[in-house]
Amino acid sequence: MLQLMHNKQSISNENNIHLKYLIANEQDALWGLTVNSVGCQYIAPHSHYPPGNHPARYLFSTNKGRILDEYQLVYISAGKGSFVTKSCRQQAVHEGVMFLLFPGEWHNYMPDKATGWNEYWIGFKGINIDNRVESGFFHKQKPAFNVGLNDKLVELYMSAIQIATEQKAGFQQMLAGIVNQLLGITYSLDKNQTFENSQIINQMNKAKIIMTEHVFSGIKAEEVAETVNMSYSWFRKTFKDYTGFAPAQYLLELRLQKAKEMLTNSAFSAKEIGLTIGFENHEYFFTAFRKKNKMTPIEYRKLTQKAER
């Protein structure tokens, strides 16, 4: 890491700032995500912010704020400060916080004069991130994420700076991969913060085990809630927050997955398989299977058993 930092000193005239601004061609854009900027800067206590060595379209005054035409994912690894956007009221920022800037969205942020901060960022755009925002994974109303101090995140930013500096063939695609990793880690770490220091993780994991072990029994979601000592309404909400599935849907997914295994690896009829995995009504089994897999159980069996021969 120290050697990498030393190598990057040529990127900027100041040793505490390492940045790179990039261009992408039409072919790069077809990949679904392109990176426009990447860098890090270490702002010492009582020093000027922001530094004045950025291109005009990236500069901003902390008195006026700024609007960008790209997304930026910013990670604070040391120090503290403040952050505000048009859609989100001002909030304190400390080490271990990641925040996402949205294109066309006014924002402002700055380190505390007394502490300064270490800041990493990567700027990007493309249909991939647009789709994730449209699908509700990221919101303008909740742009900050408590991801904690994580050396993996710093390593990814530093790798991005290295790749952007060398700009070898396919560098935009490599940078897009890093952005996807950063977004995935950020989403997961922040989501799990909700469940830390509580019994909920154990209850949810126990519920998943119960469902997996009783997939053939026709167990109901309400029975699972009772077993983990939760009211069904609270269990349903918490389980969906934790897994992304409502309990009943999770059970259905497990049963349909087991059905696919049995259709491929057993001689039981489709109707027998449906009954075995807890579907009392074989017509419902056929309908649910077709809706999930875009083919009937019989068609799936023919396809997969033919492939195995």
User: Model confidence over 123-165: pLDDT tens digits?
Assistant: 999 999 999 999 999 999 999 998 888 888 999 999 999 999 9
Greater confidence (162 vs 62) lies with: 162
pLDDT at position 3 is 34
Confidence of residue 290 (pLDDT cuts 50, 70, 90): very high
Residue spans in the chain of domains classed CATH 1.10.10.60: 200-308
User: Which of 10-24, 35-49, 262-276, 294-308 shows the lowest mean pLDDT across its residues?
Assistant: 10-24
The stretch 78-83 carries a mean pLDDT of 94
Query: Which residues on adjacent β-strands are paired with residue 57?
Result: none
Average pLDDT over residues 23-44: 92
Query: Concatenated DSSP letters for 213-272?
Result: HTTTTT--HHHHHHHTT--HHHHHHHHHHHHSS-HHHHHHHHHHHHHHHHHHH----HHH
Class of CATH domain 2-193: mainly beta
The pLDDT mean for the chain works out to 86
Q: Provide the strand spans (E) within the chain.
A: 17-21, 34-43, 71-85, 91-94, 97-101, 107-111, 117-125, 144-146
CATH of segment(s) 200-308: 1.10.10.60
The distance from CA 196 to its chain's CA centroid, rounded to whole angstroms, is 18
How many whole angstroms separate alpha carbon 189 and alpha carbon 125? 22
71-85 and 117-125: which strand pairing? Answer: antiparallel
State residue 58's pLDDT score: 60
Q: How confident is the model at residue 1 (pLDDT cuts 50, 70, 90)?
A: very low
* Res 82 pLDDT > 70: yes
The whole-number pLDDT of residue 307 equals: 52
Instruction: Please say whether the beta carbons of 173 and 126 come within 8 A.
Output: no
Q: Looking at residue 53, what is its pLDDT?
A: 62
Which of 54, 27, 50, 49 is closest to 38 using CA atoms?
54
Q: Which residue has the tokens 């990949």?
A: 31
Does residue 191 have a pLDDT over 50? yes
What residues does CATH 2.60.120.280 cover in the chain? 2-193
Using one digit for the tens of pLDDT, what is the confidence trace for 200-235? 877 888 999 899 888 888 789 999 999 999 999 999
Q: Which of 42, 57, 158, 157 is nearest to 111 (CA)?
A: 42
Structure confidence at residue 18 (pLDDT): 75
Q: CA 182, 243, 208: angle at the middle one, nearest 5?
A: 130
Are the CB atoms for 267 and 301 separated by under 8 Å? Answer: no
Query: Which own/partner contact pairs does 91-94 have at CB distance under 8 Å and 24+ positions apart?
Result: 91/144, 93/117, 93/144
Rounded alpha-carbon distances, angstroms, from residue 25 to 70, 85, 137: 16, 30, 27
**Cis peptide, bond prior to residue 50, ω within 30 of zero:** yes
Residue type at 173 in one-letter notation: Q
Share of the chain above pLDDT 90, in %: 59
